[in-house]
Chains A and B, each alone.
Chain A
Amino acid sequence: MSIVNTIPQHALERLKGLRSENNPKGVFTSDFSVNEFLLVRKAGFEPVGLCVGSCIFHVGIQYGSWSKNQEMTVLSQAMYQARESAMSRMREEAADMGADGVVGVRLEVKRLEWDANILEFVAIGTGVVHAKGHTTFKGPNGQPFTSDLSGQDFWTLLHAGYRPLEMVMGSCVYHVAHRGMLQSLGSVGQNVELTNFSQALYDAREIAMERMQQEAADAKAEGVVGVNLHEGSHNWQPHVIEFFAVGTAVVPISTELDASTIPDPQLVLSVNT
């Protein structure tokens, strides 16, 4: 799904003009804080412009069977595809700006008030470009890299000898089985584990993590930092939960870089209260 063709020529020209080192008259836009801006510059990058990708999605309807633990594949796919579309549109805009990557990506899901089945997925981040024109910082397939790490974290990551590849994610929407009447009555007033619930949560999280890990493996990453596991129920029937795993896949900047060449970080004890 390409939207590049729909961007008018003059807009493309303007986007290209944003690269600051090649075009000192360019103006960049970003949502960096001062600290972030300073550290991104220190890392040798210049912000180019805010990149955004949006996808409004009608999530299909699916009912889980009452007494069964099962993945709601229609919903899982919806949640994944919509996020993926938002991310790839943002990445396309970054590529059009000539950015090497996008840092500080915020990937959010919003509910639109007139219909519970419509969700808006939005990805916003700041496109950055290497000030000296190094081209080795790209993500997979020569696309701009994407990362939900802040500017500070970006600097630190490079300092640790790693560079970001792409945001990897895995989604699993799961229906947690209801307990039968007899089953519930049997355990009234007791302290017991409800194993079918335990199992449902475990399985759903496991699936989300497996998928995220698979994406990282496909991107040929060494690992994933800043992994976050969200649980959410986007206004679905009770007992339907989404597990969403997201993180930034990273690779070593160069395999020759030995750990001993990385400066030791200094640990400090704060006397602030």
Chain B
Amino acid sequence: MAWPRFPFGKAADTEADRAARDAALKRSADWEQALAHDRLPSFVEARLGEARAGQTPWTSTMTPAELLLAVTRGIRPVATVTGTCWYQYGRSWTEGHAAGWRSALHRLRAEAVACGANAVVDVKMRTVQGGFGASMDFTLIGTAIKVQGLAASNDPIIATAPLMDFVRLLQAGIVPVGLAVGAQYEWLIDQSKAYSGSWTWNNQELATLSRFWEQLRRAAYRELKADTARQGNGVLAHTQLSQLIKQEGSDKGPDRYLGRHIVLGTVVLSGESSPIPRGIETVVDMCDGPSPLDTHAADGSNIYGLNEREGAL
């Protein structure tokens, strides 16, 4: 493999070094233009174009089992596609997260369109650990697929479900169509410093906090529902994060509470459901580690790593 050379010292600025530097500058300018004008850099466009035409090997996050499933269902992997947005949430953490993911999703879709895909499956959420200050990167990675007999789509389906689940849903007449986000945050100011109930020894509901928290969660779900309604007719919300944080006030200042609730899910469009055959057959699962048959298998989408079991009381 030929490595591009880069001059880091002053010495030996050869012709090749200058050429490499020019190429790197050109590449960097291409990126800037692309991000500013909401399109893909020419070399990414070219690479995905070749993948679309089948001139280069496809790359796929699929496991061999999924490849087997794909081959027998007339589905072909095309390329690994990504979308990244490094977002600073200086004003609002919660809104920043929603905006960051939406923007990454938009870019992932652009790559999928460039490789002529009908859908992107197995979309995973990623972030580089240890972001800088009040900012982090929002990255989505998935496998673009082409379905035999379907024309390339200008609006490919984006599904967090891996291909295995994608096909299972399709077989049941349900199409996973996209990703929905609901994110809400709010501050609660406690002038009297009484909301935590530290003044009583009795059993008592902390009604103000309950109400605050419940309203916030409902608002997040309403937003999720609205986002879902724009895309399909149902959502399987696999990732939820909720935090209620207390900031103790100073002697004169009030206590402050920050509540935030983020929920993300796969939007589905379900038509007339075809009956699922009822016969029960015993199978031996030869998987080591988390099995695709195990409904609690890690979904790989939850980068927040908090409250994963929420809702499963």
Contact = CB atoms under 8 A, between A and B. Distances in A.
Contacts of A272: 293-295
Contacts of A269: 168, 276
A181 interface: no
Nearest to A226: B63
Interface stretch (A119-127, A129-137, A153-161): A153-161
A221 B47 CA distance: 16
Nearest to B135: A194
Given A217-B56, A217-B57, A267-B168, A191 B88 contact: yes
Interface string A48-83: 000000000000001100000111011011001000
A231 B57 contact: no
Contacts of B286: 35, 38-39, 152
A44 B61 CA distance: 26
A205 B82 contact: yes
A217 B135 CA distance: 37
A134 to B, nearest CB: 19
A209 interface: yes
B7 to A, nearest CB: 10
Interface in B264-296: 276, 280-281, 283, 286-288, 293-295
Nearest to A159: B68
A194 B128 contact: no
Nearest to A228: B61
B80 A203 contact: no
Given A231-B126, A267-B168, A35 B288 contact: yes
Interface string A178-192: 000000000111111
Nearest to B68: A160
A21 B219 CA distance: 67
Contacts of A202: 31, 82, 84
Contacts of B171: 267
A216 B133 CA distance: 39
B72 A213 contact: no
Contacts of A226: 60-64
Chain A's interface size range is: 35 or more
B137 A214 contact: no
B60 A153 contact: no
B35 A199 contact: yes
Nearest to B6: A73
B99 interface: yes
Interface string B46-85: 0100000000111111111101110110100100101011
Nearest to B293: A270
Contact of A191 (B8, B56, B95, B132): B95
Determine the main DSSP class of A at the interface with B. mixed
B42 interface: no
B141 interface: yes
A98 B283 CA distance: 36
A210 interface: yes
A20 B280 CA distance: 40
B57 A73 contact: no
A29 interface: no
Contacts of B130: 238
Contacts of A199: 28, 31-32, 35
B91 A224 contact: no
B249 interface: no
Given A206-B44, A209-B59, A273 B65 contact: no
Nearest to B86: A197
A193 B60 contact: no
B63 A153 contact: yes
A153 B57 contact: no
Nearest to A229: B141
Contacts of A222: 57-58
A149 B288 contact: no
B64 A193 contact: no
Contacts of B129: 231
A95 interface: no
A153 B69 contact: no
B89 A191 contact: yes
A153 to B, nearest CB: 4
Interface string B86-126: 11111110011001100100000000000000000000001
Contacts of A221: 57
A33 B289 CA distance: 11
A106 to B, nearest CB: 14
Contacts of B99: 191
Interface of B: 1, 3-6, 8, 24, 27-28, 31-32, 35-36, 43-44, 47, 56-65, 67-69, 71-72, 74, 77, 80, 82, 84-92, 95-96, 99-100, 103, 126, 128-130, 132, 135, 137, 139, 141, 143, 167-168, 171, 276, 280-281, 283, 286-288, 293-295
13 contacts: A35-B286, A36-B288, A70-B24, A153-B63, A160-B64, A162-B64, A193-B85, A193-B100, A198-B35, A199-B35, A211-B1, A213-B57, A268-B293
List the 8 closest pairs (A to B, CB-CB), nearest first.
Answer: A197-B86, A160-B68, A157-B64, A223-B58, A270-B293, A216-B57, A156-B64, A198-B86
